[in-house]
Amino acid sequence: MTVAINTREFDLLRDFIARETGISLATDKVYLVETRLREIMRSEGIEDFSALHEVLLAGRSASLKAKVLDAMTTNETLWFRDSLPFDVFRDILLPAYAAEIQQGKRKKIRIWSAACSTGQEPYSLVMTFLEAARTNPTLEPGQLDILATDYSDKALAQAKAGKYGSMAMSRGLPEGYRGKYFSPAGNDFEVNREIRDPVVFRKFNLQDSFVMMGNFDIILTRYVLIYFSDDFKREVLRKAHGALEKGGVLFVGSSESLPEGSTGFSLIRSGRATYYQKVEGAVGSAVPGPVKTAREPEKILAPARSVASSDQHSKAGLEKATEDLAEIVKRLQDMNARYSRKTDH
C-alpha cells in the first residue's frame, strides 16, 4: 500500500489520537503516522486514511483501535536510562527510607513507573534496591512495591514476560548484572524471580483519574510528558502531585522540565542530578530548591500565593474533587483492577 495521507486526514487522525491518549503530534509527524499505520491498514483491508478514521470514530473495532494507538506510542527504553535518577534513588532516597524503616515510621517503599514501556525502568529500580540492600541490612526485598504502567499492550506483554534478546541486554545493563539477575531462556534472557516479584504491571491511560492508584513515595514520568501538550502535562503533574505521599519525589526525563504554570513541586539539585519534591501546605510554583542530601532536613517551604490565586485554586480543586468523586463511583465495581500480585504472578 503506497497511499499517502493528506492534510485533512492527518488532522483527523491526530485529533483522534490526542483525545484517546493525550499524545500531541506535531505537524511534522505526517511521515510517522503514515509509516506506522500503513501496515495495520493493509492487514485490516482498509484502503485509505479517511476510511481508517471513519472506522475508528465509529468504534466498531476495539482491536483496530488498540493496534492504532499502540502503534502511535513510543517504547524506546534501556536499562538504567540516564543513570542519575537511579543514583539518587540509591544514594539519597534509599538511605532516608531505610532510616524511617528502622525508626518504625514506614514499612514499605512504593514507586510508580508511569510509562514503563517494556519494563527496563522498574526492573532497574529493583536491581538498584537489591544492590543497596547488600550493604544496608535494614533494607529487605519485601519492603519494595513497584507499580509499572503503560498504555501499550505490546510493550506491557514483553515487560510482564521479562524476557529480553541480546540487543536489549546490551543496552545499559552494568557488567555482571546479566549473570546475577537473569537466567538464559532459549535465545533470550529472563529476569529472575527476585527482580520480578516486587513489580506489578498494569495497562493505564494517564488521561484517567489517579484516585484509585493509591499513594506513592516516588513517581517516574520519564520521557512521556514530551509527547503531551503543555495543558495535558500540567494535568498529569497535578494528578501526580495528589498521588504522592508527603515529601514524595517526582522524576522526569533528563531533557525534560515542568511546563510553565506547573504547581506543587520544588526542584531539587544533587550534583548533576535534578528531581522534584512535593511541596506541602499551600500549592506553590515549581521553583529551584536547595541542594539536598539524605542527611538534610526534609522540610520544604511553599512559595507564597495571593488571595486571588488561592480562590482560583480552591475553585479548580473543588471542580476536580467532584470529577474524582464521580470517577470513584464509576470504578467501585472494578476494584480488583488495582494491582494484585495474585492475578499477575
Task: Give the pLDDT score at 261.
Answer: 80
Query: Above 90 in pLDDT, residue 5?
Result: no
CA dist 335 to 47, 154, 243, 332, Å? 41, 24, 17, 6
Task: Give the pLDDT score at 257.
Answer: 85
Task: Give the pLDDT score at 327.
Answer: 54
CA–CA separation, 19 and 114 (whole Å): 19
Q: Tell me which of 345 and 194 has the higher pLDDT.
A: 194
Looking up cell 491511560 gives 205
Q: Please tell me whether residue 192 adopts helix, strand or coil conformation.
A: coil
How would you class 197 by CB atoms within 10 Å of its CB: exposed for 0-12, middle for 13-18, buried for 19 or more? Answer: middle
pLDDT-derived band of residue 330, with 50, 70 and 90 as boundaries?
very low
Looking up cell 517526582 gives 250
Q: What is the pLDDT of residues 220-268, one digit of tens each?
A: 999 998 888 899 999 999 999 999 999 999 999 988 889 888 889 999 9
